[in-house]
Amino acid sequence: MMKKIDRRNFLKGGLAGTAALAVTGKATSGKAASFEGYPDSMGVLVDLTKCVGCRTCEAACNKEQGLPEPAKPFNDTSVFDETGHGGMPRQPTEKAYTVVNRYDTESGGPVYRKIQCNHCNEPGCLTSCFVNAYTKTPEGAVIYDPKVCVGCRTCMIACPFHIPAYSYSSTINPIIKKCIFCYDTRLKFGRPPACVEACPQEVMVFGKRADLLRLARQRIKENPNKYIDHIYGEKEMGGTSWLYLSGVPFEEVGFNTTLGNEPVISYVKEFLGIVPMVLTIWPALFTGFHLLATRKEEAEAGKKDNNKGEGGRS
């Protein structure tokens, strides 16, 4: 695991790094694919069966992160009927790093779901960033350095959960905005994020990811009729720090259940693997083609030399 970090640091060397990258990338691909997160990484277990949609977590996030005041107050439940761009349900934005949505499920009754960055073990955003702005901290947070963000928005392409938002409205300093697990103000000091602490229903449990997985399994085991037998985020996209339990099928509450268990980087590796081959094989191969293609001219020149030589001798 630490090897991966060393690799990243080691490679901060420009062009030579590009070549080396794919070599090492290939060599350690087996290990990288099985990276299951830092051993003491923290996480949050969200139990959807307990959420009542009070939006207290949204308010807490807004306050903690110093975000602008929303158009509608946080106790206004009419926002659940809003749809965003393209008719999509509400999603985190540059002004709200977490949102709660209501889903009217077939299995009866509304179910509420809190959405924020899931803090992947092997984040797609991190692997796609060409200025290395993202960091997965040992505590489990996926944070980013807005000072180096160029605004290419590849991380938004790469995020399977559609999480990173972009401040399109800013001209001078548009940057990526997303949940950072309250890293600077709380997680770093071992404290739970603001949303978890504020929740009056104890929907969320903050703890070591490994412990949370055990807790989730225990809850499913003790109440097999209450929960779907799946922990969303345990394996999805290589595993995430935020985990979900649900009483209704996950796809009914807006989860993408077709993502698979491979982290994004697994899909990109096939290309990264060819990079060193092209860099090392092409020069000799194409210079060879050149020699082959121009061999007649060379032979002509050689003949002339020989003729001259013979002429000299006779």
Partner 1 sequence: MNRMLEKGFRPIDTLHKPDGTPWSFKEKMMLGLSPQEYWAAQLRNPFNWILAAIFAVGTPIIVGRFIFGLGWATHGSYDYPWGLLLGWGLFVMVPLSASGFMMGTTVELFGRKDFKPIERLGLLNGLLGYFFAVVFLQVDLGQPWRLIYPMFVSLGPAAVLFLVAWHVATYLSVQIAELIPAVSEWMGWPKAKRFIKQIVIGLTVAGIILSTLHQGALGALFTYAPGKVHPLWYSSAFQWFHFLCSAIFAGLSMLIVVSTLTKWFMRWRCDETFLKSLDRLTVGIAKGAALALVTYLVIKFIGVAHDNDWKYLFSGWGQWFMFEIALGVIVPLVLFTSAVRNNNATTARWAALFAVLGIALNRLNTSLVTFNWNLYQEIPHWREFVITITVYATYILVYRAVLARLPILFTWKDKS
Positions 174 through 203 that interact with partner 1 (CB under 8 A): 174-175
Considering the complex, what minimum distance in angstroms separates the CB of residue 170 from partner 1? 6
Binding to partner 1 in span 201-220, by CB under 8 A: none
**Per CB under 8 A, which region of 47-55, 83-91, 135-143, 190-198 contacts partner 1?**
83-91
Is residue 5 involved in binding partner 1 (CB under 8 A)? Answer: no
Of the candidates 73, 191, 223, 289, which one interacts with partner 1 according to CB under 8 A?
289
Is residue 95 involved in binding partner 1 (CB under 8 A)? Answer: no
Residue 185 makes CB contacts below 8 A (sequence gap 6+) with 64, 194
Three-state secondary structure call for residue 188: helix
Of the candidates 74, 80, 144, 166, which one interacts with partner 1 according to CB under 8 A?
166
Of the candidates 39, 73, 283, 309, which one interacts with partner 1 according to CB under 8 A?
283
Is residue 275 involved in binding partner 1 (CB under 8 A)? Answer: yes
- Find out whether 136 and 126 touch, Cβ atoms under 8 Å: yes
Of the candidates 72, 104, 282, 306, which one interacts with partner 1 according to CB under 8 A?
282
- Find out whether 150 and 91 touch, Cβ atoms under 8 Å: no
Considering the complex, what minimum distance in angstroms separates the CB of residue 150 from partner 1? 4
- Find out whether 63 and 139 touch, Cβ atoms under 8 Å: no
- Find out whether 183 and 141 touch, Cβ atoms under 8 Å: yes
Considering the complex, what minimum distance in angstroms separates the CB of residue 8 from partner 1? 6
> How do the residues of the chain divide into helix, strand and coil, expressed in percent and rounded to 5?
45, 15, 45
Other C-beta atoms closer than 10 Å to the C-beta of 88 total: 10
Cβ distance to partner 1 smaller for residue 100 or 158: 158
Cα angle 241, 162, 36 (rounded to 5 degrees) comes to 25
Binding to partner 1 in span 227-266, by CB under 8 A: 256, 258-260, 264
CA dihedral of 304, 306, 309, 314, whole degrees rounded to 10: -100
Other C-beta atoms closer than 10 Å to the C-beta of 229 total: 8
Cβ distance to partner 1 smaller for residue 127 or 241: 127
Cβ distance to partner 1 smaller for residue 224 or 288: 288
Structure tokens at 155: 């991380």
Considering the complex, what minimum distance in angstroms separates the CB of residue 249 from partner 1? 17
Of the candidates 34, 75, 78, 169, which one interacts with partner 1 according to CB under 8 A?
169
Of the candidates 77, 173, 257, 261, which one interacts with partner 1 according to CB under 8 A?
173
What is the helix (H) or strand (E) element at residue 227, kind and residue range?
Answer: none
Of the candidates 158, 195, 196, 248, which one interacts with partner 1 according to CB under 8 A?
158
Among candidate residues 96, 103, 63, 105, the one with its CA nearest the CA of residue 80: 103
- Find out whether 34 and 282 touch, Cβ atoms under 8 Å: no
Cβ distance to partner 1 smaller for residue 207 or 260: 260
Contacts with partner 1 by CB under 8 A: the residue count is: 71
- Find out whether 118 and 44 touch, Cβ atoms under 8 Å: no
What is the helix (H) or strand (E) element at residue 206, kind and residue range?
Answer: strand 204-208
Of the candidates 44, 100, 133, 203, which one interacts with partner 1 according to CB under 8 A?
133
Cβ distance to partner 1 smaller for residue 129 or 212: 129
